[in-house]
Amino acid sequence: MPQRLIVLISGRGSNLAALVQAAREQGWPAEVVSVISNRPQAAGLEWARAHGLPTQVVDHQAYADRSEFDDALLQACEAHQPDVVVLAGFMRVLGDTFVRCYEGRLINIHPSLLPSFTGLHTHRRALQAGVKVAGATVHYVTPTLDHGPVIAQGVVPVQQDDTEEALAERVLQAEHQLLPLAVGWHVRGELQLEAGVVRHRHGAPQALFFH
Ligand code: GRF
C-alpha cells in the first residue's frame, strides 16, 4: 500500500512541486492524497490542481483563534488518514494537539541551518549576523517551533554582496533538492530516530553542499 501523503502549503508551492516531481520520477511508494492551504489564494493550489492533485483550503482567517484553526486543520487531515504530513512552505505555527497527532511523521522544511535563525525573516537575520554559510533544514516537527530532530541540511555560501532576495533564491534551490531527498527517505523507511537524532539506515550523507 502506498503511503498517504498530505502536503500543507501557504504560498507559491515550489517545494510542493519539487516534492511531487521527485515522487513521480522516482516512483515513491507514496501518493499525495491532499494539498491543503491555509490561504485560498496560494499559487501552489493552482499548481496542484493543474497536476491532478486534490486540494483543499482551511482558511485560518475563518477561525476565531489558533486552536479552532488547529482543530479544523486536524479534522481536514484526519479525513484522509495520512501516513505522512509535509509542511512545504506552510506559514502557520501548529499547536501541540496537531503536532502530537503526527509525531514522527510530520516533516517541515525551514530556510535556515537550524538551530540558528528559527522563525521568520531568516535570510535577513543571517545577513545581519554576518554568517558565511546559510542553508535549509528538513526536520521532524515537535511542539517547540523549528526545533525537531534534523533529517537533512543543505548548506549554501553567503556571498559578500548578497541581498536578502539573492540569498533566499540560493537557499530555495537547495530546498528543492533537500525536501524530496528527506521525504523520500522517510517514505521508503530509510530513517531511524533514536534519542532525538535521525540517522539514515544505510549511511547516506545527510548534509548537502551547494556552491
Ligand atoms: C520556502 O523558502 C520555505 O522554506 C519557507 O517559505 C518558502 C516557501 O516557498 N518557509 P514555496 O511556497 O515552497 O515556493
Q: Residue 21 in 3-state DSSP?
A: helix
The C-alpha cell at 65 is 483563534
**Phi, psi (5° rounding) for residue 7?**
-115, 125
Q: What is the pTM of this model?
A: 0.97
Position 150 scores a pLDDT of 98
Catalytic residues: 110
Where along the chain do its domains lie? 1-102, 109-211
Compute, in angstroms, the gap from residue 11 CA to the centroid of ligand 1. Answer: 7
1-102 CATH fold: Rossmann fold (3.40.50)
In the predicted model, residues of the chain with pLDDT beneath 50 are none
- Alpha-carbon distance 48 to 141, whole Å? 24
What is the residue-wise DSSP string for 53-85? --EEE--GGGSSSHHHHHHHHHHHHHTT--SEE
Compute, in angstroms, the gap from residue 148 CA to the centroid of ligand 1. Answer: 18
- Alpha-carbon distance 16 to 180, whole Å? 9
- Alpha-carbon distance 198 to 149, whole Å? 6
Ligand 1 atom closest to the Cα of residue 168 is: 2
Ligand 1 atom closest to the Cα of residue 175 is: 4
Average pLDDT in the chain: 97
What are the tens digits of pLDDT across the range 143-200? 998 899 999 999 999 999 999 999 999 999 999 999 999 999 999 999 999 999 999 9
One fold for both 1-102 and 109-211? yes
- Alpha-carbon distance 194 to 96, whole Å? 21
Give me the CATH code for the 109-211 domain, please.
3.40.50.170
